[in-house]
Amino acid sequence: MDRKLLDRVLGQVSRPVRYMGNEYNMVEKDPEEVSIRFAFAFPDVYEVGMSHLGMKILYHLMNEREDTFCERVFAPWVDMEEKMRENRIPLFTLETRDPVSEFDFVGFTLQYEMCYTNLLNMLDLAGIPLLAKDRTKQDPFVIAGGPCTYNVEPLADFLDLVTMGEGEEQISELLDLYGEWKKKGGDREFFLRQAAAVPGVYVPQFYDVTYRDNGQVESVKPNTAAAPDRITKRIVRDLDQTYYPDRMIVPFMDIVHDRIVLELFRGCSRGCRFCQAGMIYRPVRERSMDKLLELAEKLVKSTGYEEISLSSLSTSDYSRLEDLVKQLMERFRDKRISLSLPSLRLDSFSRDFIAEIQKVRKTGLTFAPEAGTQRLRDVINKGVTEDDLVRSVTDAFVSGWNTVKLYFMIGLPTETEEDLRGIAELARLVTDCYYGLEQKKRQKGLRITVSTSSFVPKPFTPFQWEPQNAMEELREKQRFLRKALRMKHVEYNWNDPELSFLEAVFARGDRRLGAVLLSAWKNGARFDSWADQFRMDCWMDAFRRNHLDPGFYVYRKREREEVLPWDHIDVGVSKAFLWKEKEKAGRGERTPDCRVSCSGCGIRKTWEGIC
C-alpha cells in the first residue's frame, strides 16, 4: 500500500477519520507474528459500524487469541470509493492499512438487507472474486454472520461460509480448524467440508435448490455428506461465562451510538408476531447484576465514556433493572455518568424508576405501541394497553420530560382505517395527558414525534406467510396519517415504501435473487439504506434484466405447505408454532409472555433446560 498516496487521497475526501484508525483501544499486533488474519467487515460507513455491539465483542474476542489478528474495514463512502478506484487503492483495513485481499478471512456482519450491494462493492474494491465459485487458494474465505443470515439465500452465491446464531464459541472453533488446515495444507473445498461439520456453520455451495414450475422452491438439499440436512443456530448458554470485552474502541469522530454498551440479556420473552429478533434470538438469557456492575467499572475506566447504554431487545424486562439502575447511579454519580435505555415498554415504566435515571441527565423517551388500536395490538401480540401509555407518559411529564417519541408500524396484517385513526388518537391522548397536569407540574415546550415504519414480513415470524401492502397502499396510509396528525406539538415521520418493498424482497428471497443483486450493483446501487443514495431505477432494471418479478416475493400469501427458502435453517422455534401463532393472530388471540407461561415454541426441545 502506497501510504503517501493514501494520505493524499484522505485529504480529498469527506470525514477522512473514517479510514484512519489509531483510535483509543484499537488493537495493534505484528501481522508477521500471527498465523490468521481476519478482516471484520461492516457493509456500511464507519459511524454506523462502530456502533454495532457484535463487532465490539467479536473484534476483541478474536484478538484475545495469540494466533489471530482481527482488523476492521467499513464501506468507503461514495467520494472515497471514487478516489480509491481512480488511484487503484484496494480496500484496506484500519489497523494496518493492508489490503483486505491478503487476509485469511473477510467476515461480514449482515444487519439489514439493504446493505447487500455494499458487500459486493467491498469485495470488488478488495479485488476478491465476487462469486464463491471463482475464488482460489490465494483468496480469503468470505464469511457472514448477523440477523440477515437466517435467510441468506439471496447472497448464497457470494459467500463461502455462514455462521448461524451467536458467534462467540463458533468463531473460535472455526479459527482453530482453520489454523490446523493452514498448517497441514489442502484445498479450499477440504476446509469447507470440515467447516460444514462445525455446528451452526452453513456452506451454501453444499446445498442444491430446486424450483417448481410456479416459481416456488421445491427443495433445498445437501449435495454432499459433509453437510447436514438442517443447520441449527448456535447460542451460548451462560452469558456470565461468555466473553464480553472490558474495553471498547473510542472513536475520534461522532458515531451513531457513542457510549459504553452493557448487554443485559439476549432474547425476548414477549413474542410480538411481527418481530424477527424476538423469535430468532430466543430464549432469554440474562447476565447477572454482579457481572454487569463489574463490566461497567472496567469499561468506564478503560474508555473514559460518560454514558452507559443498557442494551437488549426489551431492556425494561431485565429482572433486576431498577436495582441495577440504582447501583450504577450510585457508583458513577461523582463521575456524572448518564444511563440511556432504548425503547421502553409502556407497561413496565414506573415513576420512581424514571426519577432515578433523571438524577444524572435526562435521556430521550421512546415508546413503541406499534399499533393504534387494542384490536391490532392483540393481533400482533403487543401486550400493552392505552392505560399503560397514559400512566407512563403522565409519569414522564411529572418527572420533567416534555419530549416523547412514539413508534408505530403501518401495513400490519388485518389493519383497517380505524387502526390508522387510532395512531392519531393516541398522539392526541398524549397531548391530553400533558395538558391534564397543572401548569406548575409540567415542563414547557411539549414535543411529540410520531414515527411509522412499513411492515416487512420476515422469515421465522408468525407473519412470514403474509403479503406486504402494495407501495401505493402504504403511501395512501402515510397521506392519511399526515392529515390526521396535523395537530399542535406533533411531528410525523415516515419511511420510504420503496425501501420497505426491496427489504421485503430480499428478506424472503431465494437464490435467484443473487443475479438481481449483481445487476443492481453493476447499475450503480450502493448505500441503499441512505435516502440520498438510493435509486429504485437500478433495482427495477435489475429485476427486468433477470426476468424476475419482485412482486412474487412481496405480495404473495404463502400456503402452509410451501417450502420456504430458509426451511433448512433451524432457529429452535418450530414452524408448527409459528403457524399456530399466525392463526391466533387471525383470531386476535394473545399468547402469554414466556415468563408467565411457556407456549411450547420449540426452544426447550432443542436446548433442554434452557428456559
* Contact present, 85 and 9 (Cβ < 8 Å): no
Q: How far is the CB of 610 from ligand SF4 (least distance, A)?
A: 7
- Contact between 280 and ligand SF4 per CB under 6 A: no
* Contact present, 581 and 591 (Cβ < 8 Å): yes
DSSP per-residue codes, 556-586: PPPPTTPBPTTTTEE-SS-HHHHHHHHHHHH
Residue 511: helix, strand or coil by DSSP? coil
Q: How far is the CB of 286 from ligand SF4 (least distance, A)?
A: 13
154, 145, 107: which is closest to 128 by C-alpha?
Answer: 107
* Cβ atoms within 10 Å of 71's Cβ, excluding its own: 27
- E strands present in 169-252: 201-202, 207-211, 217-222, 231-232
- Contact between 224 and ligand SF4 per CB under 6 A: no
Q: How far is the CB of 284 from ligand SF4 (least distance, A)?
A: 7
Shorter beta-carbon distance to ligand SF4: residue 27 or 611: 611
Q: How far is the CB of 271 from ligand SF4 (least distance, A)?
A: 7
Q: How far is the CB of 319 from ligand SF4 (least distance, A)?
A: 14
CA atoms of 535 and 520, how far apart (whole Å): 10
- Contact between 578 and ligand SF4 per CB under 6 A: no
- Contact between 604 and ligand SF4 per CB under 6 A: yes
**Single residue of 344, 598, 608, 609 touching ligand SF4 by CB under 6 A:** 598
135, 139, 155: which is closest to 39 by C-alpha?
Answer: 139
Kindly indicate which of the ranges 157-165, 408-416, 528-536, 594-602 contains the residues binding ligand SF4, using the contact rule CB under 6 A: 594-602
Shorter beta-carbon distance to ligand SF4: residue 175 or 594: 594
Shorter beta-carbon distance to ligand SF4: residue 293 or 611: 611
CA atoms of 369 and 367, how far apart (whole Å): 6
Kindly indicate which of the ranges 88-96, 375-383, 500-508, 598-606 contains the residues binding ligand SF4, using the contact rule CB under 6 A: 598-606
- Contact between 594 and ligand SF4 per CB under 6 A: yes
Q: How far is the CB of 135 from ligand SF4 (least distance, A)?
A: 39
Shorter beta-carbon distance to ligand SF4: residue 302 or 599: 599
- Contact between 451 and ligand SF4 per CB under 6 A: no
- Contact between 197 and ligand SF4 per CB under 6 A: no
- Contact between 283 and ligand SF4 per CB under 6 A: yes
Q: What is the DSSP letter of 525?
A: -
- Contact between 279 and ligand SF4 per CB under 6 A: no
In angstroms, the Cα distances linking 544 to 507, 540, 550 are: 19, 6, 9
**Single residue of 130, 196, 310, 603 touching ligand SF4 by CB under 6 A:** 603
Q: How far is the CB of 123 from ligand SF4 (least distance, A)?
A: 37
DSSP per-residue codes, 279-336: HHT-S-EEPPHHHHHHHHHHHHHHH--SEEEEESTTGGGSTTHHHHHHHHHHHHTTTT
CA atoms of 303 and 255, how far apart (whole Å): 15
Residue number closest to ligand SF4, CB atom: 594
Question: Which residues pair with residue 202 across a beta bridge?
Answer: 162
Q: How far is the CB of 270 from ligand SF4 (least distance, A)?
A: 10
Chain positions contacting ligand SF4, by CB under 6 A: 282-283, 594, 598-601, 603-604, 611
